[in-house]
Structure 1
Amino acid sequence: METTELSELFPLFTVAEPETLEWLLSVADECEFSAGTTLLTDGSWGTAVYFIESGWLRMQRKHGDRAITQAVLGRGDFIGDAAILDEPPRATEAIALTDVRTLGVSAQRFIQALFKDPQLHHKLLQHVVRRWRQAHTLLSLRHQPVLVRLAWTIVTIAEEYGTPTEEGMEIVNLPARDWADLSGIGVDDVANLLAKWQGKGWLELGDRIMCVTNLKQLEHLTGGL
């Protein structure tokens, strides 16, 4: 991978110095994980940052006998940074939903890059704030109708990671339980809403891919949240 590809693929690196990108590429390890593989679990957080080149990841937290889906991440995002800068998360795992390819940078190398490049450091802070805003918005949706909460979740994932096609925006299609966890609504509500929206022609559901064919309509449901 060239430095221009790195900065185009990962928004975090758009402001990084060319020398920083060259150095990161020289110390990064390319890793591939098959669907269902656990990338990070208790004891392995804080050792490296993984930048997602392709594929989809699920962040889940163990709660009793069940794993609750907390986030879904795709191409251009990264995981592991918070565990390096703060305490490692507890009972949290990163699972490959599909085949995933990443660039792995050790914790020490990542911190060195932040010290070397103030612009990269600042960009990371912006990314952290954006994550906080999304979490705050989701929390504020607790009193909104279920269709607003699910629509916001789908729109957010589509805008962050979706692949534009002639038919619409393609994202990973999750099991109903995962959509329910992410949106904070019931599984039956998810099934009913997805079936309704598919019937209206707003999205198409495949085995692994959801094509959002009318993103504007779903955005309208969220009321601009």
Structure 2
Amino acid sequence: MTVVEALQRSVLFRDFTETGLRIFASVAAEKTVPAGSPLFVENMVGESMFILKTGTVRVTQRGPEGERELAVLGPGEHLGALALLGKSVRLVSAVAATPCEVLELAQRDFVRLQPQKPQACLKLALAIAADLSAKVAESRELLRGLAAARPSAP
């Protein structure tokens, strides 16, 4: 599978033309990640996003009772997209559950691309925002429950 084909499988790039896909393919780094190896670790500074070409990745978070699995992601799915828009602290860990091939899009490359290809970068930023909005909407009830469980200030 080519880099363009792998990008095309991602929800973030579903509305991109072939030209738009090639723009990001030109800055995407292909990486092989052995099973058991982390793509990133909770609390580290995030500087890139990943799109899975092959394999599966476990997404976990540490809590009072230990590590808890939040998701298992497969080919075509992405993770760490907010780090593309700006450096941030990772809220979760992502570890290859099986051998994986991933595309890495670095924030530094995204920033460097902005003056040259502003429309493509804006389109990707808007796709990331829309994806985040959809995930927040899916988690609305969970978020309400967390807010209700928080003790009120005196």
The interval holding the TM-score normalised by the smaller chain is 0.7 to 0.9
Q: Deviations over 1:147-169 (max 9, x none)?
A: xxxxxxxxxxxxxxxxxxxxxxx
Report the alpha carbon displacement of residue 106 of structure 1 after superposing the two structures with TM.
0.8
* Structure with a larger share of its residues in strand: 2
What's the CA shift for 1:140? 7.5
Cα separation, 2, equivalents of 1:104 and 1:123 = 17
Give the distance between the partners of 1:2 and 1:56, measured in 2 at CA.
18
Instruction: Tell me whether 1:82 sits opposite 2:75 in the alignment.
Output: no
User: Which one has a bigger Cα radius of gyration?
Assistant: 1
Larger RCO (alpha carbons 8 Å, 6+ apart): 2
1:108 CA drift (Å): 2.0
What is the letter of the counterpart of residue 134 of structure 2?
R
Give me the whole-angstrom Cα distance separating, in 2, the residues matched to 1:122 and 1:76.
Answer: 19
Unpaired segments ≥5 residues, structure 1: 142-225
1:78-128 deviation digits (Å, cap 9, x = unpaired):
1111234363234x3111111111011111223546843233333222211
**CA shift at 1:65, angstroms?**
6.5
Q: CA deviation at 1:20?
A: 2.8
Counterparts of 1:11-22 in structure 2 under 5 Å?
11-22=11-22
The equivalences for 1:30-69 within 5 A come to 30-42=30-42, 44-64=44-64, 66-69=66-69
Amino acid at match of 2:60: Q
Q: For the residues of structure 1 that align with 2:124 and 2:40, how far apart are their CA atoms?
A: 24
1:116 aligns with 2:98: no
Of the three residues 132, 138, 144, the one matched with 1:134 is 138
Taking a change above 3 Å as real, the CA distance of residues 14 and 74 of structure 1, as seen in their structure-2 partners, is same
5+ long unaligned stretches in structure 2: 146-154
Deviations 1:61-82 (A, max 9, x none): 1124621112222111111112
Kindly report the root-mean-square deviation, in angstroms, between the aligned alpha carbons of the 2 structures: 2.8
- Would the aligned equivalents of 1:49 and 1:110 in 2 still touch at CA under 8 Å? no
Other structure's SS at 1:50 match:
strand
Residues 84/8 of structure 1: CA separation in 2 closer, same or farther (3 Å cut): closer
* TM-score normalised to structure 2 length: 0.73
Counterpart of 2:151 in structure 1 is: none
- What does residue 148 of structure 2 align with? none
